[in-house]
Amino acid sequence: MSSPITEADLQAYVDERLEAARRAEVEAWLAARPDEAERIADYRRFGAELRSLYDPVLLEPVPGTLAYVLSPGRRRWVRVAAVAAWMALGAAIGALAGWELHGERPVVAAAPDVGATMARRAAVAHATYSPEVRHPVEVGADQEAHLVAWLSKRLGAPLRAPKLEAVGYSLVGGRLLPGDTGPVAHFMYQCNRGTRVTLYVRTEAAGNRETAFRYAREGSVGVFYWVDRKMGYALSSNDISKDDLLKVANAVYQQLNP
């Protein structure tokens, strides 16, 4: 008898790390559970979008000087030199650490840019779900009260879906997404021309007090993002201009940050 399918199996399936026999068992398990199959399909689409954004970096040519260093005839000497360098570096770090401890001077690590990370994730989420026709959202606008209550409970903070009719957009619905530190809310809006914008909302952004608008472009997706106290927001679109996206972002900001 095969072992039960676990979340680790599902994540390994998403990452294409399962052997053929186990992959077949997972696929059979998912075939009998449409909700789980849709969740895992979302994760796979999310991963595919991430790869499409960052894989081109891996295809860039190796700089000439580095290619020379890595040539077959030099690899042995490179390894010897690397070991010697690491030993020297270790000695230097040890000496510096001793001096720092002697002076009792704390070392402070640089904080990650919460906003920039959020903007990248928001862009990938928008690129993944905005083209969907049949399943653009998990819960539709006809169940808005349920959607907002559910997402608020999962994020542990009171949320609202902004009303954007004044700038030409109506709520399509929303869904729950995995974030870097916890769950994320994702609201989708559409205008009468069919163009879409998405609002990415995360919590636990207390490390960054930035409240001013910032703009980023990830591939073809433009993102306006900001952080207000413990909440982070990112509005994305690849269908409208930067100026038009700013108008929508201002409408969102005025409602969520009175």
Based on the fold, state whether residues 170 and 44 are members of the same structural domain.
Answer: no
pLDDT number for residue 91: 53
Indicate whether 25 and 49 sit together in one domain. yes
One domain, residues 211 and 229:
yes
In this structure, the answer to whether residues 94 and 168 fall within a common structural domain is: no
Last residue of a domain, one of 81, 103, 125: 103
- Look at residue 108 and tell me if it is in a domain: no
Task: Note whether 99 and 205 are same-domain residues.
Answer: no
Same domain, 43 and 85: no
pLDDT at position 103: 45
Contact call for residues 137 and 174 (beta carbons, < 8 A) = yes
Beta bridge partners, 222, equal 217, 237
Q: Are residues 129 and 224 in the same domain?
A: yes
pLDDT of residue 101: 43
Does residue 209 fall inside a structural domain? yes
Per-residue pLDDT of the chain (258 residues; tens, 9 = 90+): 578 888 788 878 877 888 888 888 888 888 888 778 877 777 777 666 666 655 555 555 655 555 554 555 554 544 555 555 555 555 554 544 444 444 444 444 334 567 788 888 999 999 999 988 888 999 999 999 999 999 999 999 999 999 999 999 999 999 999 887 789 999 999 999 999 999 999 986 655 555 678 899 888 899 999 988 788 999 999 989 999 999 999 999 999 876
Q: How far apart are CA 122 and CA 29, in angstroms?
A: 31
Strands (DSSP E) found in the chain:
139-140, 170-178, 183-190, 196-202, 214-218, 221-228, 231-237
Per-residue pLDDT, 104: 44
Taking the model in full, what pTM does it have? 0.59
In a domain, 227, yes or no: yes
Domain count, the chain: 3
Give a yes or no: residue 234 inside a domain: yes
Q: Report yes or no on 1 lying in a domain.
A: no
* Co-location of 25 and 47 in the same domain: yes
Same domain, residue pair 161 and 227: yes
Asked whether residue 160 falls in the same domain as residue 239, the answer is yes
Residue 242's domain spans which residues?
114-256
pLDDT of residue 44: 74
Q: Do 248 and 155 share a structural domain?
A: yes
Here the CATH number for the domain that contains residue 230 is 3.30.200.100
232 domain-assigned: yes
Q: Which amino acid is at 251?
A: A
- If asked whether residues 122 and 45 sit together in one domain, one would say no
Q: For residue 187, is it left (φ>0), alpha (ψ between -120 and 50) or beta?
A: beta
CB atoms within 10 A of CB 151: 23
In this structure, is residue 38 part of a structural domain? yes
